[in-house]
Structure 1
Amino acid sequence: MNHQRITLLDLGGVVFQSTGVSNDQIDWTIITTLNHKYGYDLNIGKNLIPEFLKEYNALTKQDLDGETFLKGVFDTLEINEELIQFLSRNGKVIIVSDNYRENIAYISKRYCFSDWSINQIYSFDYQMVKSNPLFFRRLVEELSDVPVSEMILIDDSVDKIKSAQKSGIMGIRYECNDRVFDRLRELGYR
């Protein structure tokens, strides 16, 4: 395998599952509804977390502050250590994710992203989501020292993989670790 290969790794649905298990504090049904309402704007960097949290608190009859809410959300999710370790043994990882600035500020510290990724590129950095092919065009320009042929995106969204492919980036759809590992082994990962 060429050790210059760079894995572009999605967070939601890959490193973390898309939803967690609801508990007394965290109601994933409400979070999913609010993500549909606010998600796009939050992903491109608009500061709507106060509105999101106010509405969440009203719907759940709670008074959570941002830190308590984020801790509660990520306490219900598991990080995919097996995938991270496999990719780290086989080259370099760059996190590439549609996500909210506030989520990232919290989880990048909690899960020490800088320990296993050489870079992090988020939708709010570019003020566009990954399903927009311009996102990956800009990423390729920004990572100009890495040949596009050495980039592989692992994402759970077919639309985002198609968007990356328009810039020449190979994509692997994430369904489970074993399928991803099999595909990567076909490409020379060990």
Structure 2
Amino acid sequence: MYKLAAVFALMASPALATGLEIEIEGEGANGTITVDLFEDIAPKHVEQISTLAGEGKYDGVVFHRVIDGFMAQTGDVEHGKLGGDMRRAGTGGSDRPDLPAEFSDITFDRGVIGMARAQDPNSANSQFFIMFAPGPFLDGQYTVVGEVTGGMEVVDAIKRGDGPNGAVIGQPDVMKSVKPIE
């Protein structure tokens, strides 16, 4: 009886996206990247990203922090919309709750996508970053949610920021649209 109830519970729960299609445009990058989401590794984070993408919350959100040789960060659906006050980009999240960490043994290699967070490991919400190069010092410290499977050349072209914190000056590149792939 328990197994049958578990099957019905799985059938009733919403299907997680298995990936994302992200259209990027701007002064640096123009094109589409595809992402494989690791729903088995970080199910809560993948559900959050999938829901936000499905609701169109990531559409028009900028890459606000981009550090050459390290990573490109985006996903601030609260303060990171193109046309908003870019001085606040990177300080917000979404109207959904923060998530408990889902650390894994996956290493932060080139193209890996991790969840951005504050000092509290359980503070990830909507922001994520894409690695330009390996960053094994992040392993076990941030939740890995996926990896780029197509269009890494578009990621490589994202407009870089200035200074040690990588704040993008002027017109940042933007995620024009983010669509879940099921």
Give TM-score scaled by structure 1 length: 0.26
Structure with higher strand content: 2
Higher relative contact order (CA 8 A, sep 6+): 2
